[in-house]
């Protein structure tokens, strides 16, 4: 059990039968009345974000979330298979549980599976991933304007803007938060 005074960014709580992660919080002490805590919470089951205000000092149940590293093995139709490298136990997740995060994982990548008890809530990606460019238009000759970009498609199907010097077969570093090109990958 924790109180609303103990809120920190990233902490997980159980509230009204749901599991939430605190994204933002602000302790407010008005001139009149009692103090309260204004929060922004992400529902870990639906990924929706809500704004909620709690009275200061209210007790909450912490949600014990586990993050287990697993390796992405392969796709079988709409099912994606992951393996625990320690126990060799395999886990199957449906595409609907992974959503847009599929754009950032390659076979063999290690990611973290987020679970609450036996319930799988989703996956946690690293901040940046390496993807290969499989399709891009050639740069237009004479287009030397600063920050000129072109569309490119990665091996995972993600479409993004890259600088003109990036070609098919190049590997690039992509931010998983924004889905944008970061740098060219050099082995």
By three-state DSSP, how is residue 115 classified?
Answer: strand
> With the CA atoms of 52, 64, 9 and 26 taken in that order, what torsion angle do they form, in degrees rounded to the nearest 10?
30
pLDDT in tens, 39-95: 999 998 888 999 999 998 889 999 898 989 999 999 998 999 999 988 999 999 988
Quick one: 134 and 112 in the same domain? Answer: no
DSSP-derived secondary structure letter, 31:
S
Q: What is the pLDDT of residues 67-81, one digit of tens each?
A: 899 999 999 989 999
Same domain, 98 and 70: yes
Same domain, 107 and 58: no
Residues 138, 179 within the same domain: yes
138: CATH: 2.40.50.140
Q: What domain range is 15 assigned to?
A: 2-62
> Domain check: are 58 and 69 in the same one?
no
Domain tally, the chain = 3
Tokens 């039968």, residue located: 17
Number of H helices, E strands in the chain: 1, 16
Q: Which of 124, 144, 172 is the last residue of a domain?
A: 124
As a whole number of angstroms, the distance between CA 23 and CA 49 comes to 9
Q: Token pair for residue 181?
A: 């090109």
Among residues 124, 146, 174, which one ends one of the domains? 124
Domain's final residue, options 124, 146, 165 = 124
Q: Please check whether residues 156 and 168 belong to one and the same domain.
A: yes
Are residues 38 and 90 located together in one domain of the fold?
A: no
What confidence tens digit (pLDDT) does each residue in 137-164 have? 865 555 555 677 889 999 988 999 998 8
Element at 97 (helix H, strand E):
helix 95-98
For residues 142 and 172, membership in a common domain is answered with yes
């Amino acid at each position: 059990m924790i109180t609303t005074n103990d809120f920190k960014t990233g902490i997980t709580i159980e509230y009204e039968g749901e599991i939430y992660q605190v994204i933002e919080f602000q302790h407010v002490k008005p001139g009149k009345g009692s103090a309260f805590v204004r929060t922004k919470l992400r529902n870990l089951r639906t990924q929706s974000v809500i704004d909620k205000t709690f009275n200061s000092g209210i007790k909450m149940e912490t949600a014990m979330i586990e993050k287990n590293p697993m390796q992405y093995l392969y796709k079988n139709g709409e099912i994606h298979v992951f393996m625990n490298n320690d126990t060799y136990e395999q886990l199957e997740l449906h595409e609907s549980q992974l959503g847009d995060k599929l754009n950032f994982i390659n076979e063999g990548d290690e990611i973290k599976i987020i679970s609450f008890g036996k319930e799988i809530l989703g996956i946690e990606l690293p901040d940046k991933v390496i993807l290969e460019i499989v399709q891009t238009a050639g740069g237009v000759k004479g287009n030397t304007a600063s920050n000129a970009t072109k569309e490119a498609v990665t091996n995972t199907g993600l479409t993004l803007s890259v600088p003109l010097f990036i070609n098919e077969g190049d590997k690039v570093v992509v931010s998983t938060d924004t889905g944008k090109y970061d740098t060219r990958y050099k082995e």
